[in-house]
Copies of this chain bind each other. A is one copy, B any other.
Amino acid sequence: MTHRPTAPVTPRSTEHTALRPLGIDAVTITGGEWARWQRDNAERTIGHEFRWLEADGTVDNLRRLTPGASGSPERRGLLFTDSDLYKALEGVAWELGRQPDPALRDLLDDTTAILAAAQEPDGYLNSWVQAGGAERWAELDRSHEHYCIGHLIQAGIAAARAAGAPALLDVAIRAADAVDADFGDHRRTGVDGHEEIEMALVELYRETGEQRYLRLAGQFLGDRGHEQLRTRHAEPDYYQDGLPVREQTTVVGHAVRAVYLLCGMVDVYLETGERALLDAAVAQWEAMTARKTYITGALGSRFEGEAFGDDHELPPDLGYGETCATIGQVMLSWRLLLVTGEGRYADAMERGLVNLIAASTDLARTGFFYSNPAQRRTSRPASPTDTRPTRADAPGTRPPWFECACCPPNILRTISSLAAYITTATPSGLQVHQFLPARVRVTLAAGDVDLEVVTDYPVSGAVLLRILAAPGGEWELALRIPGWAGSATVAVNGTTDAGTDARGYRVFRRAWAAGDEVRLDLPVEPRLTVAHPAADALRGTVAVERGPVVYALESPDNGELDLGSVVLDADAPLTVVPADLFGRTVPVIDAAGVSATHPDWPATGYATLGSPAAEAGAVEHRVTLRFIPYALWANRGPSTMRVHVPYRKAGRA
């Protein structure tokens, strides 16, 4: 393959990948909520974020290092603010690839000029170290020097690929070379406390062809897991440094770091074919997915250390669920999808995208959740709109910014590059993994294909693929059948097909012609979902889902009802009602249930099983429970909310 897609992940080797990515040059999101978000992202979010980056000194931290900088304010903010700017720049670059914008281009160029001027002669760049925070590389456990340069590399690559702006890549290469000069060939050992540079170095190898970047990524993977990182506040496991990466069988420690590390492992596998790396990554992905993932796609059950907990430790109320962790899961699952072609990875991406990531941002796209709980028992005050909270979880609505501002620019770059995550190709065909209104133009071995996806999914389950142009010969069109769907019907020009393949796809091989249509119907009837019986915090509850969408009870839809008192009647039907919410027609779901209070419950909080105190005295009222998509919660001021709801079913108490 000679064409390099305009995409964040572009494997160079073709030996270890089932699918090749299509970039934002090939795929356009043409309508629906994601297109609206991309537009808002360009028109509002980027400007909003750069205003905060300026207001908080994130740009000044680098500007003050440039020759002749006037005033030279003191460096401000956390140690790793550089990375916030780089992620935002990466988002700008992808946005420029989506559509040209002279003002955005100026922003990219001007900022690039600051970075180039701030950079030390050998390419080293880190505003905290250069401000005297520490000796270079001396405090890697917390300095995030590699982490920041990793994000610079990713931004530089995006600028080169999407914006036609190689100057930022030059800055990034010089910074990468400074890392390589000091660490390459084990001239230094040691790894960064926060993984990120591994995947960035592999991508830089892909971009430049320089093998030493790939080698350095592999070195960092090998050097991790030997208990070098241990501080007052954290054990080696926090940094994924407790076991060699090839020996680890589940995700541990800081959730974002863990999934970023796994991205690097899969990336090195993709280029080297080292099976032990892939096997360890798949094992960890499976353990994470089966036992450490919330139904919303949230990852990391612990505030303490922003960390993964034990298997089946999924408290809905105290769960942390950092937005960046789920973004990292999407990045990871995408890589594993490229490697394997297995739909389960696209399923995981969909869970994260339509639930947690969609919930991470308000509908103005200028407010953000850092932590994403699945239950809020007591409403919390609204976030101030003009200041940033210092505690990730505090406010009842989405703050405009954070002291640790990692999530907002991570969301930004994800949205602006989203088109690169929905379809793939092989020489012989095209695979559609996520269903959104889109236009796809791709060159297969058979020739040029032009295709559109028409759908309002997941509002309905109807997805129409229409061939707009096709080459003469046969090629394959594959559609993912989501794991939640159970059954689905697919009709090609009105004729239904055979079954789903082992990877979870319906594959049609034929000589397609312009005007051919593939119609997918997914069963989006609402359903009640239970968690694994060992998920203690979710015992005795159901969640309402519809298609890939997880629903939640939120107080504004439920009058005076105390959401802590509700019990859903699992034998009663779930009713889908089209509702006008936030200017959208949203399918909300009504369920029957009771509000049960226990005014005579013992004042100690505890009662003997089967005793009069435990059995008597419940006061029940029949109620209708209205569920809305979890992604939309907390858009109407402070509220209470819950995803997992206690239930009754005939034959159960």
Chain B residues within an 8 Å CB radius of A315: 315, 317-318, 537
Q: Is the CB of B536 within 8 A of A606?
A: no
A565 touching B534 by the CB < 8 A rule? yes
User: Contact at B313–A317, with CB atoms within 8 Å?
Assistant: yes
**Contacts A312-B564, A390-B232, A565-B534 hold; do A609 and B377 have CB atoms under 8 A apart?**
no
User: 7 A-B pairs, CB-CB below 8 angstroms?
Assistant: A235-B391, A530-B607, A530-B608, A536-B646, A539-B541, A570-B610, A651-B653
- Which residues of B lie under 8 Å from residue A313 when comparing CB positions? 317-318, 377
- Report Cα–Cα, A530/B618, bound state, in Å: 15
Within the complex, the shortest CB–CB distance from A549 to chain B, in Å, comes to 13
Query: This chain: how many copies in the complex?
Result: 2
1/0 per position for A282-312, CB-CB distance to B under 8 A? 0000100111010100000111100001111
Size category of the binding interface on chain A = 35 or more
How far is it, in angstroms, between the C-alpha of A649 and the C-alpha of B603 when the chains are bound?
Answer: 25
* A530 vs B646: C-alpha distance when bound (angstroms): 16
Pairwise interchain contact A605-B390, C-beta atoms closer than 8 A: no
Query: Once the chains are docked, how many angstroms separate the CA of A607 from the CA of B317?
Result: 21
User: What 1/0 mask marks residues of chain A from 597 to 612 whose CB sits below 8 Å from any chain B CB?
Assistant: 0100111111111100
Any B CB within 8 A of the CB of A441: no
Residues of B within 8 A of A610 (CB): 528, 570, 649
A289-B344 contact given A313-B318, A536-B317, A608-B528, CB 8 Å threshold: no
Other-chain contact of A608, B309, B527, B605 (Cβ < 8 Å) = B527
A394 CB-CB contact with B under 8 Å: yes
- A312-B377 contact in complex given A541-B539, A598-B532, C-beta closer than 8 Å: yes
Q: Give, as a whole number of angstroms, the nearest-CB distance from A97 to chain B.
A: 33
User: Which A residues form the contact surface with B (CB < 8 A)?
Assistant: 232-235, 286, 289-291, 293, 295, 301-304, 309-313, 315-318, 344, 347-348, 351, 375, 377-378, 390-391, 393-394, 403, 483, 527-537, 539-543, 564-565, 570, 596, 598, 601-610, 614, 618, 644, 646-647, 649, 651-653
Contact partner of A302 (CB less than 8 A), chosen from B318, B598, B607, is: B318
A571, closest chain B residue (CB): B610
Q: Across the interface, do A377 and B310 meet the contact criterion of CB distance under 8 Å? A: yes
